């Protein structure tokens, strides 16, 4: 006789699963909201499966990522289940719509006249004008939307930079730590931000065309390992390329980098540490400090300009195209 074993199938919906996990942790909706930075009402909508009340999918996916990180879950599995269940809800809604239209049409004595058409047209135009003005006034008095999707507040980074990504109002001007960043047609933005060892505060701002501004800040703890020379050999420095003070140490200096006339990708290393990687916009500049050397990589060498201690060094390259490892010290550009 062949024996059969039964296997329990997990048929919990996303909402049921989230509610079960929360109850197992003995947490309230407010507790989860506080730890994940997700509004309590959105957590309730997710647990009750009321997807029609949730904001755009990009925000919901950000909620689920934050929820997964705080609860120790697989964020990809949560997002996949959300997409699957929302697709089912959408299909059910489409199936129900024809049923509503199958009701018999009742005839009446309603007659369409030219006067009625004119009156209706005027009402439609007036309503459209009112809605447009309402939207403009609402944009004028309200702050633009802004959401940081990654990293989460209080995150830890093992390195000298962290990838910051989020969503802002379409056509808004976005800056990270007062450095302008590019925003695509969907309002999405991302940028690599340099970190110092220890606690870093990253401030993201979004400003709309009515000069209304939204600001969010997050904290990131960086653990940057100091470089060790495994061969224990001293590094030889060309005395003509390095200014030395009386006590034998390298002379600190500052370098200012700007681009013109197009947005340009840059990567900057100061004394061997990555301090900037991203797209720099025309009219913006970045200033860095170093003890020995700054290395510049650019997607457009002839459109990238450098000043060392306020002295104009000109473009990093006379030829168009990308360049790498253009080095500067306190004396200026290092010739290889």
**Residues 201, 219: contact at Cβ < 8 Å?**
yes
> What is the chain's pLDDT, residue by residue, as a tens digit (336 residues)?
445 454 444 578 888 888 888 898 888 999 888 988 899 999 899 889 888 888 988 898 888 888 888 888 888 888 888 888 888 877 876 665 554 444 444 445 567 788 788 888 888 988 887 777 666 655 555 788 899 999 999 999 888 788 899 998 878 889 898 888 888 888 899 888 888 888 989 999 999 888 888 999 999 998 876 544 444 444 344 444 444 444 445 689 999 999 988 888 888 999 989 888 877 788 778 889 999 899 998 888 899 999 999 999 899 888 888 888 899 998 888 877
pLDDT at 134: 64
Evaluated on CA atoms 218, 80, 60, 176, the torsion sign reads positive
**What local confidence, expressed as pLDDT, does residue 238 receive?**
45
Pairing mode of beta strands 304-308, 253-259: antiparallel
pLDDT of residue 11: 75
250 three-state secondary structure: strand
**What is this structure's pTM?**
0.37
Residue 98: the pLDDT is 53
> What confidence score (pLDDT) does residue 227 get?
46
pLDDT of residue 94: 66
Q: pLDDT by residue (tens digit) across 257-284? A: 999 888 888 889 999 898 888 777 887 7
CA triple 63-54-218, angle to 5 deg: 30
Across-strand partners of 67? none
Instruction: State the sign of the Cα–Cα–Cα–Cα dihedral 270, 276, 282, 283.
Output: negative
Calculate ∠ Cα 157-158-164, nearest 5°: 35
Cβ atoms of 177 and 275 closer than 8 Å? no
Say what the pLDDT of residue 133 is.
66
């Amino acid at each position: 006789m062949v024996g059969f074993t039964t296997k329990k199938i997990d048929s919990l919906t996303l909402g049921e699963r989230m509610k079960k996990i929360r109850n197992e942790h003995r947490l309230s909706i407010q507790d989860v909201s506080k730890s994940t930075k997700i509004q309590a009402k959105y957590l309730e909508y997710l647990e009750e499966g009321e997807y029609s009340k949730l904001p755009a999918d990009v925000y919901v996916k950000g909620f689920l990522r934050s929820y997964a990180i705080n609860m120790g879950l697989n964020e990809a599995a949560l997002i996949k289940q959300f997409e699957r269940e929302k697709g089912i809800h959408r299909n059910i809604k489409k199936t129900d719509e024809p049923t509503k239209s199958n009701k018999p049409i009742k005839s009446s004595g309603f007659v369409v006249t030219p006067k009625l058409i004119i009156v209706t047209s005027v009402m439609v135009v007036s309503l459209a004008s009112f809605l447009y003005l309402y939207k403009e006034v609402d944009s004028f008095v309200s702050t633009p939307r802004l959401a940081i999707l990654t990293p989460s507040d209080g995150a830890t980074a093992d390195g000298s930079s962290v990838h910051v990504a989020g969503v802002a109002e379409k056509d808004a001007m976005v800056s990270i730590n007062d450095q302008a960043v590019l925003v695509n047609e969907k309002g999405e933005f991302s940028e690599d931000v340099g970190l110092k060892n220890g606690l870093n505060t990253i401030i993201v701002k979004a400003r709309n065309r009515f000069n209304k501004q939204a600001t969010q800040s997050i904290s990131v703890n960086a653990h940057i390992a100091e470089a060790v020379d495994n061969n224990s050999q001293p590094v030889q420095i060309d005395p003509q390329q390095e200014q030395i003070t009386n006590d034998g140490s390298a002379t600190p200096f500052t370098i200012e980098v700007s681009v013109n006339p197009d947005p340009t990708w840059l990567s900057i290393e100061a004394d061997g540490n990555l301090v900037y990687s991203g797209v720099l916009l025309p009219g913006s500049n970045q200033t860095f400090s170093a003890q020995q050397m700054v290395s510049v990589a650019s997607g457009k060498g002839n459109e990238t300009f450098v000043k060392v201690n306020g002295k104009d060094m000109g473009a990093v390259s006379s030829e168009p195209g990308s360049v790498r490892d253009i080095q500067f010290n306190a004396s200026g550009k290092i010739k290889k």
